[in-house]
Amino acid sequence: MKKGWILAALAALMMTTAVADDHKQKDWRKDGSDTEKLENLVKAVPSTARIMIEMGERYKNLYWAARQEKWEFAEYQVEEIEALTELLQITRPSRAATAQDFLDEGFEKFEAAFEKQEWEPFYKAFDHMRAQCVICHARNDYAFIILPEHPATATSPVLNLK
């Protein structure tokens, strides 16, 4: 009986030591080789889907900012969508050409719309950008992803939607 208790205590001690050793693993960011650091950084690069989630949020906020005549905030959303598209070109080189087409075609009407600060010119620019989104999705085998013409909500607290 005593022998069984001693074996159980040793087993528990060994498991505790193993767990403690797991917590002492090296931090690849500080201690890893350059190759290991590069491999892990490449794995950490955001996927297209992750970038598109933020882009979708900005799309909704753009619509509602203009709807509420918060033109400066709307312009900011356009700038952020452009920046996300440029990030996508870097992180997903296979999509760089279609992303460039989107950049070239999707934003051309916003400058005039923001100068006028009126809904109708804005909505024409917005709808044109939305059409370019759909074209880009189709070119990348995601034609089933179609953005709403009139997003129901926005996520930014700046817009204070109820």
d(CA 154, CA 160): 9
Q: Say if 15 falls within a structural domain.
A: no
Q: Say if 34 falls within a structural domain.
A: no
Query: 3-class DSSP state for residue 45?
Result: coil
Query: How far is C-alpha 81 from the geometric centre of its chain's CA atoms?
Result: 10
Domain count, the chain: 1
Q: Say if 72 falls within a structural domain.
A: yes
Q: Over 90: is that where the pLDDT of 103 sits? A: yes
Q: Say if 55 falls within a structural domain.
A: yes
Q: Say if 39 falls within a structural domain.
A: no
- Which whole number is the average pLDDT over 112-120? 97
Query: How far is C-alpha 109 from the geometric centre of its chain's CA atoms?
Result: 24
pLDDT score, position 162: 62
Q: Over 80: is that where the pLDDT of 11 sits? A: no
Neighbours of 40 (CB within 10 A): 12
Neighbours of 113 (CB within 10 A): 23
d(CA 78, CA 55): 10
Residue 98 belongs to domain with CATH number: 1.20.120
Q: Over 60: is that where the pLDDT of 19 sits? A: no
Q: What is the pLDDT of residues 140-152, one digit of tens each?
A: 999 999 999 999 9
Q: Say if 147 falls within a structural domain.
A: yes
Q: Say if 125 falls within a structural domain.
A: yes
Q: Say if 11 falls within a structural domain.
A: no
pTM across the whole model: 0.79
d(CA 94, CA 91): 9
Q: Which domain holds residue 112?
A: 48-159
Please name which of 76, 68, 84, 62 lies closest in space to residue 128, comparing C-alpha atoms. 62
